[in-house]
Chain A
Amino acid sequence: MKRYLSHPFWQGAIVIVVSYVAFEWVIGYVLPVIGVASAPVPSSVILQYMLTVLVGIVLYMSADEARWKSFKKPIHETMVARDRKTLRGILMVALPVLIGWLAYQNVRPSYAAPATLRSVHPAPPNQLTFRGETIELTGLENPLHEEGSIEEHLAVGKRIYVRNCVPCHGDLLDGQGHYAPAFNPVPADFTSSGNLPQLTESYVFWRIVKGGPGLPREGTPWDSAMPAWETILEQDEIWATILYLYDQTGFTPRTWEEEGEGGHE
């Protein structure tokens, strides 16, 4: 046992196995059990991680001449040594079978939709039309900050949210409404740090006004179930809802730096 543990080749093999277990099983299945939010990792990401680890191992082994030699030794011996004849025979069969199986897995017909790359936050347009009215999106601020009392706006936002948004986005704003499991992509989770705090209020406004139908091409596939709310809500109601979202989640909207600070102009 100790002989194996101190041998570079087997050390490398152990690192590979341990990393795989960590990426696939620990992140995917152990973390949720101990109460950390997690989920199985997509195979594309696992592949990427494992390749990185593999490259790291090869680099480490070949960075030192002596280590490199002893790392290669078992491989070399398996290929030529007399006493490894059986192992060699097994590998001669097993490797082609493995490769064949992988190739088959790749080409076999399946019912699953192909993996897609959907940009969750595609670039917004410079302007949008709200029921025919053109609104410049660039530099647009939430007008409700300037007028009326914030409590009233929040009350309006709450009413709008409860009446219109809860079925999909959930009463905890976590994207787990009653209808949510039926949708792909799933409704946005407002409690996630990757959503509201990354976006300006004008961006959120655009997404609510135009909904799934208004997504640009890179936001495809266009199967988002989000309606275009411009047909149902008034502008101020949408702005109030946005205030409510940020208020409830405790996030602050992203803001852009002041114009001209960078020195040009």
Chain B
Amino acid sequence: MKRWLTRGVATRGVLLAALALAVALPLLAQAPGPDYGEFNFLGLDRRGAVWIAAQLHLLFAAFVLGVPMFAVVIEAIGMFGGDEKYDKLAKEFTRLLLVAYSATAIWGAILVFFLSTLYPRFWAYLTAIFAPSMWVYAGLFFLESFTLYLYYYGWDAWKKGAAKKAHWCLGIMLNVWGTIVMFIANGWLTYMMSPPEGLTADTAPQTVQLWSAINNATWMPINIHRLLANVVFGGAIVGAYAAYRFLTSKTDEERAHYDWMGYTGNLIAIGALIVLPFAGYWLGREIYEFSQQMGITMMGGFMSWLWIIQAFLIGILFLAGNYYLWIGMGRIPGAERFQPYIKWMLLVLVLGVIVWATPNTMIADRDEIAAMGGIRHPFLQVLGVMSAKNTAVNLMILTTFLSFLMYRRANKDPVVPWARAGTMLQGAAFALCAVIVVFYGVYGYFVTAIVRIGFSVYQVLAVLATILFVIGIDMAMLRGAKSRGEIRWGRMPDRSQYALLILAVTFTWLMGLMGFARSGIRQHWHVYEVIRDTSEQAFTPALGPAATIISICVLIFFALVGLIFWLGGLAERSVYQEAEAKVKAGQEGRAALGDPMPAPSLGDVD
């Protein structure tokens, strides 16, 4: 209101001042033409178009940035550990990158075209501030592409000795370029969320300092959050790729390979997921500190139900991730020992999901509200607040880690003399951690909000410390352990692979949802409290329509990724050509697993 009132007069003033200073006129005051371009395609409006282009660009970009991170790590494992199969796996990850990389660029270009044609004035504003960083961005993108080409096409040429090390360094460079590129782009979008202090609608964009615009309140938290999330996402998509190849493979050899690959992808995804909430807390805190109103809009305002949906999705992730491990134990000799524990772990997970998804304000009709004496349930409201939810999610993380530990231990019998004491120590660490988590969870009800926020950090720290401590003991204890038999890679029922697919779809959708939350809390602003969105799409959509758009994005993404997977399969086909003779053996393998579905004949795979 105030801003609107002063605009007329102040614009005149700015013109005067700008002329006197011999600075170019502010673009805002002089840009000719309309503020917004018209767009209507199959009922999709201009915001929908930009939304879908941005989301797809982001999904491909996340994949392209996430995969190199662990491809390099896996290559190093192969290089220093001397196991050829890791090297092959790293190369296979990288092959997926090539096509995904061009998809990223295509969607990026579409996004830029949409922005510059549909939001011309706002685009001019952004370019006036960020132009130099955009040129740097383009240059780095160029470097990144060529590093990727060298990395992939040089894989077999530089396989030995120093050449291999140089090749590995190429992989690291690839990550460096990619990370800088992402940081730059994050600067643009976080500027829209949390512009530096003191900007008004009349501030000429040319006068905004580039570094202050990039280094804004939420820039670093978003950088770190996205860096971790990219690893999670890359792992999940690789898992989905492996699942797809597993389901369509015709030989045992192929099946074993993709089973292992799917396991690795899943492990990476779940492992990185465990530390992701830390970065999330930090981001949330910075948002609150930047603007209390923005923070409340995000957590308690019209978006509060979004977090219930998020809880529901993360519940699915935990359940599916654990489920995959439990099924996987069926192919490990000696895993039967741990079967009885599964139902208790499942109980913790189910209770965790129930607590986490318990809404603080419930959907209820008039009579139910009257019966409850309010919108909150007198008993269940205890579960609706942060203390309960943090406790639940930390116990779920702990349980997931326990599943992984049992999976790891399944076919091994430690031979070190202190094995028994070690196991007991591990158990004690778990118990202590659970006690700490529950203690702070309960104690959280009796302290003020600020202290309570601190507690959530203690809880996560306790869980992370326990994980590190227990895994340390485990690695020492299982050194030279007696094996009860090799893991029978490939002997996995199909439904485990569908669990991997659901994991990947859920991760992708969750990213879309969180992106909506991040972008939606700006509400009717292009740049929060600086540049107002005056188009007809200035309102923030409800969860339903938003979910529909997110689903469309994810569907397009998986259609394209499916295409990429299929292309990946075409290239791979020659490798397995000689193995086709074993198709029959593969069929028998399936029959032995009790799968009634006949193996596909060679022709009908694609």
Contact = CB atoms under 8 A, between A and B. Distances in A.
A43 B342 contact: no
Contacts of A62: 323, 327, 495
A175 interface: yes
Which of A42, A188, A255, A256 has most B Cβ within 10 Å? A42
B357 interface: yes
B373 A117 contact: no
- Interface SS majority for chain A: loop
B372 A37 contact: no
Contact of A63 (B327, B365, B373): B327
Contacts of A151: none
Contact of A42 (B339, B368, B381): B368
Interface in A211-265: 217-218, 252, 254-257, 259, 261-262, 264-265
B449 A45 contact: no
A164 interface: no
Contacts of A49: 354
Given A56-B346, A257-B289, A113 B354 contact: no
Contacts of B217: 262, 264-265
A216 B264 CA distance: 48
B372 A59 contact: no
Interface string B333-376: 00000010011001101100110011111111111111111111
Interface string B576-603: 0000000000000000001000000000
Interface string A139-182: 00000000000000000000000000000000000010000000
Given A218-B301, A256-B292, A175 B362 contact: no
Interface stretch (A80-88, A90-98, A99-107, A122-130): A122-130
Interface in A58-85: 59-60, 62-65, 69
A197 B386 CA distance: 13
Contacts of A45: 358-359, 362-363, 377, 380
Given A40-B368, A69-B594, A120 B323 contact: no
Contacts of A256: 288, 292, 450
A60 B363 CA distance: 30
A233 B343 CA distance: 60
Given A40-B371, A264-B217, A194 B376 contact: yes
B365 A115 contact: yes
Contacts of B327: 62-63
Contacts of B373: 39, 175, 186, 189
Contact of B301 (A27, A48, A122, A175): A122
B379 A59 contact: no
Given A39-B371, A44-B364, A60-B346, A31 B379 contact: yes
B445 interface: yes
Which of A36, A55, A138, A254 has most B Cβ within 10 Å? A55
Given A64-B330, A184-B369, A194-B360, A123 B296 contact: yes
A119 B367 CA distance: 18
B339 to A, nearest CB: 7
Contact of B361 (A43, A118, A252): A118
B285 interface: yes
Nearest to A264: B217
B304 A119 contact: yes
A262 B371 contact: no
Interface string B209-228: 00000001100000000000
B158 interface: no
Contacts of B134: none
A31 B380 CA distance: 12
Given A45-B377, A184-B370, A197-B448, A123 B301 contact: yes
A112 interface: yes
A115 to B, nearest CB: 4
Contact of B289 (A64, A116, A186, A262): A262
B297 interface: yes
A27 B479 CA distance: 50
Nearest to A174: B373
A183 to B, nearest CB: 10
B493 interface: yes
A115 B364 CA distance: 5
A193 interface: yes
B108 interface: no
B293 interface: yes
A56 B450 contact: no
B350 A52 contact: yes
B300 A60 contact: no
A52 B363 contact: no
A197 B387 CA distance: 14
Contact of B366 (A48, A120, A184): A184
A185 B377 contact: no
Contacts of A42: 362-365, 368, 372, 377
B302 interface: yes
A138 B359 CA distance: 27
Contact of B300 (A39, A114, A121): A121
B374 A185 contact: yes
Interface in B285-321: 285-286, 288-293, 296-297, 300-302, 304-305, 315, 319
A122 B302 contact: yes
A16 interface: no
A47 to B, nearest CB: 10
Nearest to B301: A123
A122 to B, nearest CB: 5
B384 interface: yes
A39 B376 CA distance: 10
Contacts of A56: 319, 346-347, 349-350, 353
A148 B290 CA distance: 33
B300 A122 contact: yes
A186 B380 contact: no
Contact of B379 (A36, A55, A63): A36
B263 interface: no
B448 A59 contact: no
Contacts of A189: 373-374
A69 B290 CA distance: 56
Given A194-B376, A194-B381, A112 B448 contact: no
Contacts of B290: 264
Contacts of A194: 360, 376, 381, 384-385
Contacts of A175: 373-374
A65 B358 contact: no
A188 B319 CA distance: 38
A41 interface: yes
Nearest to A126: B293
B450 A255 contact: yes
A123 B339 CA distance: 48
Contacts of A259: 289
Contacts of B370: 184, 186
A16 to B, nearest CB: 12
B326 interface: yes
Contacts of B286: 262, 264
B335 to A, nearest CB: 10
Given A117-B363, A119-B300, A119-B304, 14 more contacts: A38-B379, A39-B377, A42-B363, A42-B365, A52-B315, A56-B347, A62-B327, A63-B326, A65-B493, A126-B293, A175-B373, A175-B374, A192-B374, A194-B381
22 contacts: A38-B379, A39-B373, A40-B371, A53-B354, A55-B350, A59-B323, A59-B346, A60-B346, A62-B323, A64-B342, A117-B305, A121-B300, A186-B370, A194-B381, A197-B448, A254-B448, A254-B450, A255-B449, A261-B289, A264-B289, A264-B290, A265-B197
Interface of A: 27, 31, 36-45, 48-49, 52-53, 55-56, 59-60, 62-65, 69, 112-126, 138, 175, 184-186, 188-189, 192-194, 197-198, 217-218, 252, 254-257, 259, 261-262, 264-265
